[in-house]
Chains A and B, each alone.
Chain A
């Protein structure tokens, strides 16, 4: 994996998996969410059963730069968690 790339981790419907191909670490959130949605719908995420109804509305993108312990950039998709007005 190149230094400008990242592993994309996705959580959907009680399952979690990584997209096989790396993506650009600085890709826009909107693009990442669209790629992830398409990947889930087509069964492109190992560990996540294909789901034509995948809907990542209100999911957020967390980015974690490579460290000595985890030597690759990671991008993690998860649901938002705020409460309030």
Chain B
């Protein structure tokens, strides 16, 4: 498998508790997954957020698909999460700011949590070249 998006669920200490590596992940998508939802629900009291990679260099802004997924999961859980988008050279944290259901704001994250290197590795950053 080549370069792909990868997901990871983070606990209350922002450490990985599930690597989300579905067989049908692609360069530009992680497919809908009942198993991922079941894990989130079963562990809802110890989850702080979910990260996924955008496996390229540059912009780490979430897509419309991403934001609508953030909102749906938060409505189901009844609580807000911290969402992370990681590219090969940037990290963005995304939180709901309101008032609208899809009013999420992005903040560039300045440091590198330990799991960031691993999500880049699992996304196969080494198969890419930066010009």
Contact = CB atoms under 8 A, between A and B. Distances in A.
B36 A14 contact: no
A13 interface: yes
A15 interface: yes
B78 A79 contact: no
Interface residues of B, number: 30
Given A14-B44, A14-B79, A82 B72 contact: no
A50 B29 CA distance: 35
Contacts of B31: 82
Interface in A46-85: 55-60, 62, 78-85
A: contact size bracket: 20 to 34
Contacts, number: 82
B29 A83 contact: yes
Interface string B48-72: 0000100000000001011011011
B72 A79 contact: yes
A58 B71 contact: yes
Contact of A84 (B37, B40, B65, B78): B65
Given A62-B34, A83-B7, A85-B28, A13 B65 contact: no
Interface of A: 11-16, 55-60, 62, 78-85
Interface of B: 5, 7, 26, 28-34, 36-37, 40-41, 44, 52, 63, 65-66, 68-69, 71-73, 75-79, 101
